[in-house]
Structure 1
Amino acid sequence: MEQKVVLITGGSSGIGKSIGIFLKSKGFKVYGTTRSKIKYPDFDAFDLLELDVKKEETITAAILELIKREGRIDVLVNNAGIGITGPIEETPNAEIVKAFDTNFHGPIRMIKAVLPQMRIQKSGLVINITSIAGFMGLPYRGIYSATKGALELVTEAMRMEIKDFGVQMTNLAPGDFATNIASGRYHAPVIKDSPYEKPYRTTLDAINNDVDSGGNPMQVAHKVFAIINKANPKVHYKVGDFMQKFSLLLKNILPDKVYEKLLINHYKL
């Protein structure tokens, strides 16, 4: 059986690195991407390509290089993303645009870049890493929720558009996992005497505690491996602890205001 070629954006750390290490151990040919290879001179977990999902020229160059080396792309894992928190009223518009450019437009750019090759192959799989946060509007994480929710909906649409090409697409929504996302997240500053000062600070502390106590990102890697091995992947997958997944069930069955009250209580707002 021919070795499958997997491309993982944001593969130099966190969930992306865990996915790459696990898939390589299972016999896949793995390529990860990073915006700057010079920052990882000793990285040897798998091959890294320099690519910034916000810059089309770097995407084109990386995909051409990968096809030159391997002749094919079997799986794209759209994992690269950034966090953003803050009261929406106090979050700079430039930061909102940046978040959408990375978390939403970035995956779309990647999909557009690999589809021609996958269409030639008459096969391929795209796994979009979204978030459980993308299924609900979370206080002080509304922009992040919106970027991930938008990608979930685009995947629903694109699955139908590309079905005749032999190419499959799905979403995988993780809950909270112990990664370095908090260090790279944009935090709108807690402004003294702002009407949001106290509730935002409380929520920010809760968010950081959830990330710090999150699960092992290898759980996400195992789920990606399982999806790759499915003949007909579903539209949506979730991976996380019981309560995180249960919260989605509650959202589907509870009245909106009841669910909203649960979130208000959870974040002590």
Structure 2
Amino acid sequence: MAKVILITGTSTGIGLETAVQLAEQGHQVYATMRDLNKRSLLDTEVEKRNVKLNIRQLDVQDEKSIHTCISEIISNESRIDVLINNAGAGFIKPMEQASMEEIQQVMDVNFYGPIRCCKAVMPYMRNQKSGHIINVSSVGGIVGSPVNEIYCAAKFALEGLSESLATYLEPYFGINISLIEPGGTITEFGNSLTEYFESTGGILNDDYKPLMETYMGYRATFTDEFKEKAFQKPSDIAAVIIGCMNDPHPKVRYLTSEGTLAFTKLKTSLDPDGELLKAQVRKGILNK
């Protein structure tokens, strides 16, 4: 059965590939992005793969644009079956060196953005007594990493939000919540992080120089050949997202590869998909 799907952040990478794969499967896809001037890659892929989807403007930092987009979808389709919160922004900089404006921006895109979108679609999903919200997180939402602490904090927050919502939205309102947790992925995401770090002054304090030189040296080992062997492609992550969407009993979390399972093993080995903890919390508090 075709579903009505809203996905954010589809101008490149995982969002683009997920939108196109969903359209290939016959779903009614609303692929959104903050800046429609950046739609050319998506347009090219849509034409090449001969699919139909709806491209709309949606800025996860702007409530008005979110509600405008969702109102149009409801007007056209009378429902929203799936929300995929994919839009996000990485960040490399030690916390002490980051400005509060930078920190607030990272939190706003990666955490408050999904909250805004969830709050906008949930009334419709509650009324139809069904829905699935899929939040694209990261292994950085499970394991903290050096000089990525602000990004990790935002993803940790998204994980806590999602785990909490998952305890009650499904039994009371028929809405499932899932997390997708990729690791290294072949996109422009990593390159843009390095470019931003360098464009904003690089190492701003000599005390941090040894740390940053070590970290940036580590990142320099991510050659194209290495990425091809060790990283996942956007199409791989898209397949996990679609598998989650099609799961008759959606799990709380979906780590996207054996590598991500290994990386997070010390935290997730007892309950890799989050279902045991969800059941324990439901039983202990809600008697569900």
Same-fold status (TM-score > 0.5): yes
Identify the residue that residue 16 of structure 2 maps to in structure 1: 17
Would you say the 8 A contact 1:82–1:184 is kept in 2?
A: no
CA gap of 1:249–1:23, structure 2 versus 1, over 3 A, is same
**Out of 247, 253, 266, which is 2:263 matched to?**
247
Match of 1:189 in 2: 201
Cα displacement string for residues 93-112 of structure 1 (whole angstroms, at most 9, x for unaligned residues):
11010000000000010000
Residues 64-143 of structure 1 aligned to structure 2 (within 5 Å): 64-143=71-150
Relative distance call for 1:76 and 1:59 in structure 2 (3 A) is same
1:246 CA displacement: 0.4
In the alignment, the residues of structure 1 paired with residue 115 and residue 223 of structure 2 have an alpha-carbon distance, to the nearest angstrom, of: 27
Q: 1:252 to 1:51 in 2, by over 3 A?
A: closer
Residue 67 (structure 1) shift:
1.1
Query: What is residue 263 of structure 1 aligned with on the other side?
Result: none
State the alpha-carbon separation in 2 of the partners of residues 252 and 73 from structure 1.
Answer: 32
In 2: Cα distance, 1:205 partner to 1:11 partner: 31
C-alpha distance in 1 between matches for 2:241 and 2:54: 19
Amino acid of the structure 1 residue aligned with 2:234: P
Q: Which moved more, 1:206-215 or 1:15-24?
A: 206-215
Equivalent-residue separation in structure 1 for 2:216 and 2:116 (angstroms): 31
CA RMSD of aligned residues (A): 2.0
| Equivalent-residue separation in structure 2 for 1:157 and 1:11 (angstroms) | 27
- 1:144 is aligned, of 136, 141, 151, to 151
Question: 2-side partners of 1:123 and 1:170: how far apart?
Answer: 14
Mapped to 1, the partners of 2:14 and 2:140 lie a distance apart of: 16
Identity percentage of aligned residues: 37
Residue 73 to residue 252, structure 1, CA distance change in 2 (3 Å): closer
Q: Which runs of 4 or more aligned residues in structure 1 lie more than 4 Å from their structure 2 counterparts after TM superposition?
A: 208-212
Q: Secondary structure at the match of 1:80?
A: coil
Q: Is the 8 A contact 1:86 1:189 kept in 2?
A: no
Structure-1 residue corresponding to 2:282 = none
> What SS is found at the alignment partner of 1:58?
helix
Equivalent residue runs for 1:146-225 within 5 Å: 146-163=153-170, 164-185=172-193, 186-187=196-197, 189-191=201-203, 194-207=206-219, 209-210=221-222, 213=227, 214-225=231-242
State the 1:204 CA deviation. 2.7
In the TM superposition, what is the alpha-carbon distance from 1:160 to its structure 2 partner?
A: 2.2
Q: CA 1:231–1:217 in structure 2 vs 1: closer, same or farther (change >3 Å)?
A: same
How does the TM-score come out when normalised to structure 2?
A: 0.81
What secondary structure, in the 3-state scheme, does the structure 1 residue paired with 2:179 have?
strand
State the partner residue of 1:234: 251
The answer to whether the 8 Å contact 2:11/2:38 transfers is no
- Deviation string 1:222-259 (CA, Å, 9 cap, x unpaired) is 1111111112211111113x333202113567xxxxxx
Q: 3-state DSSP class of the match of 2:59?
A: coil
CA contact (8 A) 1:179 1:211 kept: no
Query: Following the alignment from structure 2 to structure 1, what is the Cα–Cα distance between the partners of residues 264 and 184?
Result: 14
> Which residue of the partner structure matches residue 262 of structure 1?
none
Q: Which stretches in structure 2 are left out of the alignment for 5+ residues?
A: 47-52, 270-288
The unaligned stretches of length 5 or more in structure 1 are 254-269
